[in-house]
Amino acid sequence: MRFRNRFQRFMNHRAPANGRYKPTCYEHAANCYTHAFLIVPAIVGSALLHRLSDDCWEKITAWIYGMGLCALFIVSTVFHIVSWKKSHLRTVEHCFHMCDRMVIYFFIAASYAPWLNLRELGPLASHMRWFIWLMAAGGTIYVFLYHEKYKVVELFFYLTMGFSPALVVTSMNNTDGLQELACGGLIYCLGVVFFKSDGIIPFAHAIWHLFVATAAARTLLCHLEIPVPKSHRLYSAFMTSLC
């Protein structure tokens, strides 16, 4: 109680079960800035990844990853600006909030694209290349139908989608980058604690943004540093011939 009284101006009370937390002005500003400052680095990193690609299939994969990364920070920033400055436009705010939730699914799918598209997978594991996008589409439909109604279910979907492809990736013969993948996943999981702590911890959502930024940066650096395995060049050349 003493903690809440001390930081009362920096956070509001917890949101109801089927409602959305209303941040303070301080939290609104932090939510905006923590992702707005990352838009340009995300664009630069994505462009560099595309530039370092050797063939058409690698470029397509880099484009998919970059689009997911940039969309995450851009949509999040726009939503938080609208929520802060245009909260009286309820319909607009609601639409951007839905977009903010939807883009997370596609960001997760895009984050796995370099591992799933550019490495050799077994017959069953190869289906994860398209199944993860099916999960993203399913998550989008869920947001349309049940936005903010079943928050625990929504969190379960995010975690399931995040861990399912990881099981496939960790079973690959080539283990390059798996430590970075595990590190990024751990950072995301730790950040979930703050994602669910609005009204308990001041600036909880902004702190969550920092966890996302750290994990995303770790993953991007991994993709930039680790080359495509030579054993996968034949598959990449085949896909390039289809471009």
Q: Find the angle CA(240)-CA(120)-CA(215) to the nearest 5 degrees.
A: 95
What are the residue boundaries of the structural domains of the chain, listed by start?
A: 24-242
* Look-up of token digits 């289906």: 127
* Per-residue pLDDT, 229: 53
What kind of architecture, by CATH, is found in domain 24-242? Answer: Up-down Bundle (1.20)
Q: What is the pLDDT of residue 239?
A: 45
Sign (positive/negative) of CA torsion 145, 163, 18, 91? negative
Q: Tell me if 232 sits within 8 A of 85, measured CB to CB.
A: no
pLDDT along the chain (243 residues), means of 10: 58 74 90 95 93 86 95 96 83 91 94 85 78 92 86 86 82 76 89 89 94 93 69 45 45
From the DSSP assignment, how many helices (H) and strands (E) are in the chain? 10, 0
Would you say 205 and 198 are in contact if contact means Cβ atoms under 8 Å apart? Answer: yes
| CA separation for the pair 100, 108 (Å, rounded) | 13
